[in-house]
Amino acid sequence: MVEIVRYRSEFAAAVARLQKRLWSPDIELNAAYLRWKYDLNPYGDWPIYLALDQDRVVGMRGAMGASWEVGNPPQKYLIPCAGDLVIDPEYRSQGIFGQIMGSLENELREREIPYLFNWTANPVNLIASLAAGWKMTPPLGALVREYQASRPMRLVRKRLQWLANRIPPFATLALGAMRMDRHLSVETLPRTEAMADLVSRLKRTRIRHQRDVAYFGWRYRNPLSQYRFVFWDDDRLEGYLVLGATERLTGTEFTIMDWEATAGEILEELLGAALLGKFPHLSVWSAGLSAAHRRLFEMRGFHPIPEGRSVSKYRSKILVRPVAAEASGPLRLGDTELLDLTNWHLRLAYSDGV
């Protein structure tokens, strides 16, 4: 008989094995990811619930700590993000998903948490979540830029694919950094204090994740991904752009995780510097982009990816689960409606999937 229990450290190795189905085939890497995401998270102790068959872990879902802001001065809300759902194939279609979620939501309700977010639902999870009472935003959308190498270079890469697969994902960007303007630089680590200071100076008002020194020091230590930071400096930091590289079954996925700049010209230079990486496929979320920012990306060769019904054309949404028993009417943080994407200052870094 399957039992639902709250995660304890003694289950870490079993969870790392189970998550070979989702995170990576490397158990040690999975253990490091589990520790980073839940144990080292700066936003408190949030639950993971497991399904056990005797001593065997056959299912899991976690709530990752997250702190959200809206308005200026910011109102802060601790609202965790659901993720990492895995159920052993032998135990699917037995109601385990509902049992795990019931235990998770009961704990959050006792802690008077109003909502639970989910940024990483796949098409199957989306259908099950909507049936269970979750609400969703419109698609977040994406712009993508594809770098097309010359025909001779493509032939060389095809014949030496074994070698190309061993080249670090940001090697070309490192070469490009050698000829950047004096204001620009590429670094392997975040400048936590300078980035947090820049964010505070810009005084954003829409819904966004809290981006302080603790956040920047934790977020980009994800062991399943690699990151590079493009900075624009004068007397102090005036802009940054964060690039991410995550290994998928289809190859390396390159994304623009986050950016901020005190002027449009600085963002334009940051983006131009990032594109020296000649990434085969570079994407950025498009929902919430200002008209000026969208034009900038399109002028640099980015184009929309259409939404479709097939799995390959599925586009992420933000799912919101009202947890409080008395929740009714529009879902809000303060006076701001959650399901209206124009109210969000969206960045891919807010998602737990990269």
Asked if 150 and 73 sit in the same domain, the reply is no
Tally of structural domains, the chain: 2
Query: Residue 93 belongs to what domain range?
Result: 2-138+317-331
In a domain, 348, yes or no: no
> Can you give the pLDDT at residue 310?
44
Give the predicted TM-score (pTM) of the model: 0.91
Asked if 285 and 169 sit in the same domain, the reply is yes
Between 87-91, 204-208, 301-305, 328-332, the lowest mean confidence (pLDDT) is in 328-332
Whether 151 shows a pLDDT value over 60: the answer reads no
> Can you give the pLDDT at residue 325?
63
Which among 257, 193, 251, 187 has a CA at the least distance from the CA of 222? 257
Asked if 134 and 148 sit in the same domain, the reply is no
The 10s digit of each residue's pLDDT in 290-330 is 999 999 999 999 999 876 544 445 578 999 999 976 566 78
Q: In DSSP terms, which residues pair with 28 in a beta bridge?
A: none
Asked if 126 and 162 sit in the same domain, the reply is no
Between 9-23, 36-50, 185-199, 307-321, the lowest mean confidence (pLDDT) is in 307-321
Asked if 96 and 198 sit in the same domain, the reply is no
**Strand 281-285 relative to strand 251-261: parallel, antiparallel, unpaired?**
parallel
Backbone angle region of 285, left / alpha / beta, with phi > 0 → left and psi within -120 to 50 → alpha: beta
Asked if 176 and 267 sit in the same domain, the reply is yes
Report the chain's mean pLDDT, rounded to a whole number. 90
Two tokens, residue 172: 């070309």
Asked if 151 and 291 sit in the same domain, the reply is yes
Cα separation, 255 vs 245, whole angstroms: 7
Asked if 186 and 246 sit in the same domain, the reply is yes
Using pLDDT thresholds of 50, 70 and 90, give the confidence band for residue 32: very high
Asked if 131 and 264 sit in the same domain, the reply is no
Between 70-84, 104-118, 239-253, the lowest mean confidence (pLDDT) is in 239-253
Helix (H, G, I), strand (E, B) or coil at 145: strand
The 10s digit of each residue's pLDDT in 42-72 is 999 999 999 999 989 999 999 999 999 999 9
> Can you give the pLDDT at residue 72?
93
Asked if 131 and 189 sit in the same domain, the reply is no
End-to-end distance of the chain based on CA atoms, in angstroms?
35
